[in-house]
A and B are shown apart, each in its own frame.
Chain A
């Protein structure tokens, strides 16, 4: 069964450093998403991406964040200068219609 993959599974970084979280969505999917979940809280939408551009972004997704689909398979989330409050689980998701959205296993980001 096809699945969304994410690397790394855990990333530790120092405050102020740049991080890139990587995702490989399911190959025939058209829509891609990033969500985050601060420990013990609900899952929050960050950004959606379709047809090589951002289709929607939340208030959380400020100028420190960017997304890219550098080739036909990868989908990346970059945080330019990490803050302590960026520590969270980051989920990538993809779908091809309005039905099930497939989530990756997540990347746990720890900012120290």
Chain B
């Protein structure tokens, strides 16, 4: 069965510090993609970063990086230099069966990040 697990319901971080949000996944499919989305209190889903299962390097997008450890089946999000605007819910998601018919996203439960001034 395909599953995403986020074990941290809530996290606090001091402004300007780095924070790691944990995500583990389970799939037997060799071809998959891992995503992180940010959901602020306004409710929209904002794409942050993507890692493909065959990518050799860890993905980075500005202050976001994904610590991909394939053998451990983990895809942790690292946010560097936290800002107050980073306070939001963060969802890890997985997409399997990267076929030409698209593929649904399977989401974790989310981690609520609070950045303290």
Contact = CB atoms under 8 A, between A and B. Distances in A.
A and B found bound together? yes
Contact of B45 (A45, A98, A103): A103
Given A31-B102, A99-B33, A100-B50, A105 B109 contact: no
Query: Mostly helix, strand, loop or mixed at chain B's interface?
Result: strand
Q: Chain A interface residue count: which class?
A: 20 to 34
A108 B104 CA distance: 21
Contacts of B50: 99-100
B10 interface: no
Interface of B: 33, 35, 37, 43-47, 50, 91, 93, 95, 98-99, 101-110
Contact of A45 (B33, B98, B106): B106
A56 interface: yes
Contact of A105 (B44, B93, B95, B98): B44
Given A42-B110, A44-B107, A101-B35, A95 B47 contact: no
